[in-house]
Structure 1
Amino acid sequence: MDAYGDQVRLRAMDVADAEALWRWNHDAEVMRWMDEGYAETTAQVAKWLGERPENAYGDVLFGVEEPGGTLIGLVRLHGAEPETGIAELDIYLGEKDFWGKGYGTDAMRTACRYGFEKMRLRKINLTAVVENEAAVHIYRKVGFIEEGRLRQVFRRDGEWIDKFTMGLLAHELR
């Protein structure tokens, strides 16, 4: 089931999205504040998308589309267990032409609303590199609260950087 925000549509990702996902994952500017894996071929990305289990309570992966139907990013709620009602959120926009125009904020709100309403989560967690000011700003704007700091867990440009742990309860979503 798709989820709709004011500016975005969240929809299931499939093998046809492999080229865009590969391109984003190989763009240094897009990946600047994310944990990087090892280089993969487009075929490996397509295989991962094709073999991935269907979206279900414990793990949902959505492509983020703008109103014209262009895939601009992804959002994932994963690690959810019915006993706790807590999931981890990962998000990024890979199409840089859409940065700074509200699409990321809308995708965050839409994904969180989906988590609270459809998945019946009680809390959503995420981690963010403290120097990724744009992302941290969006997370706070949506209602996420800093709950802790993980010291020197992310390496970029030869330096170890801290990450915030942030959480959002259903009633805090803005």
Structure 2
Amino acid sequence: MLFESSKIKLRKMISDDAELYHKWRNDMEVMASTNPFLDMYHMEETRGFVNQVILGSNSSKSYIILERKTETPMGIISLINIDYKNRNAECIIDIGEKNYWGKGYATESMKLLLDYGFLEMNLHRVYLRVFSFNEKAMKLYEKMGFKYEGKSRQSLFREGIWHDIIHMGILKEEYIDESIRYSKQDK
């Protein structure tokens, strides 16, 4: 199945996921490395965000990441700002359950989403933004074949220090080449 791997499943996000997303969205440790607007949200704000921005947009596709065996929700992954004409989309991911951090779930989730984006949606380019202090995420993206495309200098203020936002992207042919190389290493 397209949205399954050995460790995870992706399922389309629904309105009922707002409470789950609210828990992750209000966990400052979870959001510190992905959300430029660290803030606490009321449930009504999160519900409105989920229904209008995530589910109500024709230019986004969002999925809840589930641990395959137990179907425990652990995070969210999305393609947003989908530009169908130019075949581009932005990718975002949050592993909201901290006990799943560092265990390869983000890698598998990204692979499933990129497979879908490039092989099913026929996207030409997927891009993302990552905070300069999030070295683990940058290493993951580089391992998957994303290339450095530039930065927004000192555009994020965290704990009294200015940080850059790094822009990375991957083209379909780069992803296909990287996937072939990666699968040869597994043999």
Q: Do they fold alike, i.e. is TM over 0.5?
A: yes
Q: Which residue of 2 aligns with 1:90?
A: 92
Q: Which residue of 2 aligns with 1:62?
A: 63
Partner of 2:30, secondary structure, is: coil
Whether contact under 8 Å (1:65, 1:71) holds in the other structure is yes
| Partner of residue 114, structure 1 | 116
Deviation at 1:99, TM superposition (A): 0.4
Correspondence 1:120-135 to 2 at 5 A = 120-135=122-137
Between structures 1 and 2, the one with greater helix share: 2
Taking every aligned residue pair, what percent have the same amino acid on both sides? 31
The alpha-carbon distance between structure 1 residues 33 and 87, as it changes in their structure 2 partners (threshold 3 A), is: same
For 1:150-161, list aligned pairs within 5 A: 150-161=152-163
Q: Is the 8 A contact 2:30 2:96 kept in 1?
A: yes
Aligned to 1:5: 5
Distance, in Å, in 2 between the alignment partners of 1:29 and 1:82 is 34
Q: Structure 1 stretches of 5 or more lacking a match?
A: none
Pick from 126, 134, 141: which aligns with 1:139?
A: 141
Q: Which runs of 5+ in 2 are unaligned?
A: 180-187
CA offsets, 1:5-61, max 9 Å, x none?
3321111112322222111111111011221264322233234334454675x2101
SS for the counterpart of 1:30 is: helix
Give yes or no for contact 1:2–1:12 (8 Å, CA) kept in 2: no
- Which residue of structure 1 aligns with residue 33 of structure 2? 33
Runs of 4+ in 1 over 6 A off after TM superposition: none
SS at match of 2:31: coil
Taking the aligned partners of 1:15 and 1:86, their CA distance within structure 2 comes to 26
Q: Distance in 2 between matches of 1:6 and 1:123?
A: 26
Matched residue count: 173
Assess if the C-alpha contact under 8 Å between 2:15 and 2:55 holds in 1: no
Say what the alpha-carbon RMSD is for the aligned residues.
1.9
Distance 1:142 1:86 in 2: 17
SS of residue paired to 2:22? helix
Deviations 1:99-120 (A, max 9, x none): 0000001001111111112211
Aligned CA distance change for structure 1 residues 31 and 107 (closer, same or farther; 3 Å): same
* 1:125 and 1:166 in contact (8 A); partners too: yes
Secondary structure of the residue aligned to 2:153 is: strand
Give the CA deviation at 1:87.
0.4
- SS class of match (2:28): coil
